[in-house]
Amino acid sequence: MTTTTAPAIRLRGLRKTYGSVVAVDDIDLEVATGEILGVLGPNGAGKSTMIDCIAGLARPDAGTVEVLGVDPARDRATAKRDLGVQLQQAGLQPKLRVSEALDLFASFYDDPRDPAELADRLGLTERLGHAWTALSGGQQQRLSIALALIGRPRIALLDELSTGLDPASRRDVWSLVREVREAGTTIVLVTHLMEEAQFLCDRLAVIERGRMIALDTPAGLVGSTAAPAVMRFAPSASVALDVLRSFDGVADVTSGDQTVQVVTDDDGVLAVLDHLAREGIRPHGLRITESSLDEAYLDVVRRESEGANR
């Protein structure tokens, strides 16, 4: 019997090549049951290839994939029953109507969601009679999400979840994803939106050139940047910026419009405040904010590519 702590997905040394391209290069990853894992990374990094391997649609060249304890490429019946997959390419018959697609996919499962209710949640009710090829890009995207979730899968794989969706649709999708997770589904989603990653995901895997270069919570990823804080203030007298730059932990100092901005770690914050106090300079309107996930993500990818090019 499996325990509740057994990972839903386990990748060991996963490698997948296409000719001379190493799309996925030695990835180890475990996704806990009930977790929402976000996958981030530049175009061509290998995110979709990794999803295809987890879905059992691509066979690894090396390493192993276990989904709920089985190899999804070998045990297709189990994988189809337990996995809901939203792919970047939908691959439906062009003339299939939205309602037919929903009913067809619902028929594959023992206890599917109500197609009408799901269509309503995703704003597709008025499009039920249309061929799916007649839908806008965003509507096709919402249909593919509906098809991935209609079978109440134990694991949902959502590749570029909200790419192409307008902000209101995105909110609908986010609330649906959260609800699906509350009902016990484990979710792996690829996203380019840091706001989405922050809002939905328990952990984030950053993929770059086929390798996993970071795996952390959103807060952990922000905290792991070399300079996690941004200080802004209007000094009451002129500040020697070079002195601030010389402090340990200070990554960047800029000034303009009577405001000084310091990107730094916690030690640097203290050093700057200490310096100002000793010089009798008041930091008017002082604000210290956390670096954003955007900055942290870019920092991780930049450091990696600098390392690779060195």
> How many residues sit close enough to ligand ADP to count as binding (CB under 6 A)?
11
Q: Is residue 48 at the binding interface for Mg ion, with CB under 5 A as the rule?
A: yes
In the complex, what is the shortest distance from the CB of residue 42 to ligand ADP, in angstroms, rounded to a whole number?
7
Q: Is residue 269 at the binding interface for ligand ADP, with CB under 6 A as the rule?
A: no
Q: Is residue 191 at the binding interface for ligand ADP, with CB under 6 A as the rule?
A: no
Closer to ligand ADP by CB, 194 or 272: give it. Answer: 194
In the complex, what is the shortest distance from the CB of residue 172 to Mg ion, in angstroms, rounded to a whole number?
23
In the complex, what is the shortest distance from the CB of residue 26 to ligand ADP, in angstroms, rounded to a whole number?
14
Q: Is residue 139 at the binding interface for Mg ion, with CB under 5 A as the rule?
A: no
**Residue 64: beta bridge partners?**
12
- Looking at residue 293, its amino acid is L
> How many residues sit close enough to Mg ion to count as binding (CB under 5 A)?
2
Closer to ligand ADP by CB, 118 or 161: give it. Answer: 161
In the complex, what is the shortest distance from the CB of residue 55 to Mg ion, in angstroms, rounded to a whole number?
13
Residues 15-54 that bind ligand ADP (CB under 6 A): 18, 21, 23, 41, 43-49
- The footprint of ligand ADP (CB under 6 A) covers 18, 21, 23, 41, 43-49
